[in-house]
Amino acid sequence: MNRDVGFFNFSINKILTKRQTILDQARIRLLYYGLWLAIIAVSAALINLYIEHREILTFSTSILLVSIFILFKYLTFRPRWGIISHILLVLATMVNLSNVFITLQNVDIITAQITFLIIVFSFYMLGQTCGLFYSLVNLIPILLFLVLMYDSNYFISLKPKVVDPSTLIIAIFANFILIIFIQNHFYAAFVKNIRQLKETAEERGNLNAEFEKVIEKAEKSSQAKSEFLSTMSHEIRTPLNAVIGMTNLLMMGNPRPDQKDNLEILKFSANNLLALVNDVLDFNKIESGKVVFETIKFSLADLMQNMCGGQKLKAEEKGLDFILEMDDSLKNKTVFGDPTRLSQIIFNLISNAIKFTHEGTVWVRMNQLEDHHNTVTVDFSVKDTGIGIEKENLDAIFEPFTQESITTTRQYGGTGLGLAIVKRLLELQDLQMSVLSQPGKGSEFSFNMEFPVSTEIATVQAEKQPFAIGSTDSLSNIRVLIAEDNLVNVMLMKKLFSKWGITPTIAENGERAIEMVQYGNFDIILMDLQMPVLNGFDAAVEIRKMRDHKKANTPIIALTASALFDIKERVFGSGMNDYVSKPFKPDELREKMKNLVTTFNSQI
């Protein structure tokens, strides 16, 4: 509604605004021109009645004219078409029924016209319900009147008025013009509305096309960013592999105490850098929607125990107590889920708890909340007696690259990515993390997760005996083929293997590796995945196709420098037996090699 319209406005343009719908504008126009027409017609009738000296009719027509004029003025001041329509319809109904029952005591063509006008006008102006109401309010009494007339029972003491034919002609003519005007007007509005709908649909189509283009562009740029990060991380991990590997080798060579301290710092920094690269890579992967959750069978108790082993040592090194508690009912449960991602979440929480606690205890709890026949809901919680978090920062710490304060960054390092990854991993599974924390007292991070339960009862795994570094055992003198193109890595592996009493054979690409397997005899193959000429996946596939049964089944361990989580499927899919991700831990590689070689030798 246009509030700037002055009281003396008579123009239609000032009361129409762009905010009104096409239909409302049509209603206002109809009222404006309709009232004009009515003023002209009623004035003409009034003049005629006055000349004819019909006092009563002149008086009532004058009142009608003044009422119409007041409504017209109201409309041009405030275009409230709803109220004005109601007033007009009430007036028209009164005129119509008084004509039938009092003035004329007859149903003539004027009554028929006015009734028709009321029906059309009320439906167009006020919609279905009001349309029906005004139509029936007029029709039912008129029908009743006709019935009464038919029975000749209708009697009223007033004498019916005889209207002069010229007034009759004016009224009939004006009514027909109004009926035509209403129809014409609404038909035009209807056509305009349809045209506008079509135009809007076209506009929307164009907008959608533009929108799609922009999305495509954004997707491409995001993909380029992801690829760039992926490549960069690979490139960074390769030299990092050499740094960590070399440090490991030097540590194994009985360094002097001062050298050992320096090596510890070197190893710590390199490992930090590696964790950072992994976090960025992982976050990038989650953000680009490439994370797929696995559903594999695992034991919750084993997973927690394995994960907490290393963390407990770390906590104890810092002088903290580390307590792992789990419900007995969970100890022999085998469930389906993604153990890698679950470990990643809990690992991040425990690392933070240890990092941000100076004294006291870190608790890791796993409680069973609900046990239905097929599923179990578990509450995981990591609690500490550390520095705590201010209430107003509890949301911010889950944002990427956000830490509680600058002091945190300075004092504890870190990237602020850990919790962002944890939050997103949970959200992707429709789960939420809750945090309770009091500055100076400690924090508790917890979440619930539901798992389908396997009917199989988990057997307690026999304790694995780790190898002592540098010990010589069944691995010495085995024949190892290493397919690796990076010279630094080759040197590193040779040094490491010499400590285990192994002299490996080197192939500089996948094709050479196949040739060497064909002409030589190996107990195990270590296969880098990204190599020139023929990559590790294709080389493995070719080896598995060899006619010689023994050669085709030689154990192959993939050496991968790419992200930890996406490569697994491809490695197993191309027939390799296992993988270690570079930079690998010597112990881990050794154990995997030993297991595979033992199994392989026992099969042939």
Contact between 386 and ligand ADP by CB under 6 A: the answer reads yes
Of the two residues 42 and 281, which places its CB atom closer to ligand ADP in the complex?
281
Dihedral sign for Cα atoms in the order 35, 37, 38, 42: positive
Of the two residues 404 and 508, which places its CB atom closer to ligand ADP in the complex?
404
Q: CA–CA separation, 241 vs 267, rounded Å?
A: 11
Q: Which residues contact 366 (CB under 8 A, 6 or more apart)?
A: 300, 304, 325, 326, 327, 330, 378, 379, 380
In angstroms, give the least distance from the CB of 338 to ligand ADP: 20
Among 270, 320, 389, 571, binds ligand ADP (CB under 6 A): 389
Of the two residues 131 and 400, which places its CB atom closer to ligand ADP in the complex?
400
Phi, psi (degrees; rounded to nearest 5) at 59: -65, -50
Q: What tokens were used for 101?
A: 């029952």
Of the two residues 419 and 517, which places its CB atom closer to ligand ADP in the complex?
419
Window of 19-27, 138-146, 312-320, 386-394 that interacts with ligand ADP by CB under 6 A: 386-394
Of the two residues 384 and 528, which places its CB atom closer to ligand ADP in the complex?
384
In angstroms, give the least distance from the CB of 208 to ligand ADP: 38
Binding mask 113-132 for ligand ADP (x = CB under 6 A): --------------------
In angstroms, give the least distance from the CB of 306 to ligand ADP: 21
Contacts with ligand ADP: how many residues (CB under 6 A)? 21
Grouping H, G, I as helix, E, B as strand and the rest as coil, residue 469 is coil
In angstroms, give the least distance from the CB of 423 to ligand ADP: 9
Of the two residues 339 and 418, which places its CB atom closer to ligand ADP in the complex?
418
**DSSP label at residue 106:** S
Q: CA–CA separation, 65 vs 72, rounded Å?
A: 10
Window of 17-25, 227-235, 387-395, 486-494 that interacts with ligand ADP by CB under 6 A: 387-395
Q: CA–CA separation, 550 vs 523, rounded Å?
A: 10
Cβ count near 468 (within 10 Å): 8
What is the DSSP track for 224-263? HHHHHHHHHHHHHHHHHHHHHHHHHHHHHT---HHHHHHH
Nearest to 579 by CA among 604, 558, 555: 558
Distance between alpha carbon 479 and the CA centroid of its chain, in Å? 53
Window of 206-214, 384-392, 467-475, 492-500 that interacts with ligand ADP by CB under 6 A: 384-392
Q: What tokens were used for 176?
A: 């027909």
In angstroms, give the least distance from the CB of 489 to ligand ADP: 29
Q: Which residues contact 478 (CB under 8 A, 6 or more apart)?
A: 502, 523, 524, 593, 597
In angstroms, give the least distance from the CB of 435 to ligand ADP: 8
Q: CA–CA separation, 68 vs 55, rounded Å?
A: 20
Window of 35-43, 93-101, 352-360, 470-478 that interacts with ligand ADP by CB under 6 A: 352-360
- Helices 109-150 and 165-252, axial angle in degrees (round to 10): 110
In angstroms, give the least distance from the CB of 447 to ligand ADP: 14
Nearest to 233 by CA among 265, 269, 275: 275
In angstroms, give the least distance from the CB of 456 to ligand ADP: 35
Among 338, 384, 484, 523, binds ligand ADP (CB under 6 A): 384
Near ligand ADP in 285-314, by CB under 6 A = none
Task: Render the burial of 285-313: b for 16+ CB within 10 Å, e for the rest.
Answer: bbbbeebeeeeeebbbbbbbbebbeebbe
Window of 57-65, 181-189, 291-299, 348-356 that interacts with ligand ADP by CB under 6 A: 348-356
Of the two residues 325 and 395, which places its CB atom closer to ligand ADP in the complex?
395
Contact between 403 and ligand ADP by CB under 6 A: the answer reads yes
Near ligand ADP in 404-443, by CB under 6 A = 404, 408, 414-420, 443
Interface with ligand ADP by CB under 6 A: which residues?
A: 348, 352-353, 356, 384, 386-389, 397, 403-404, 408, 414-420, 443
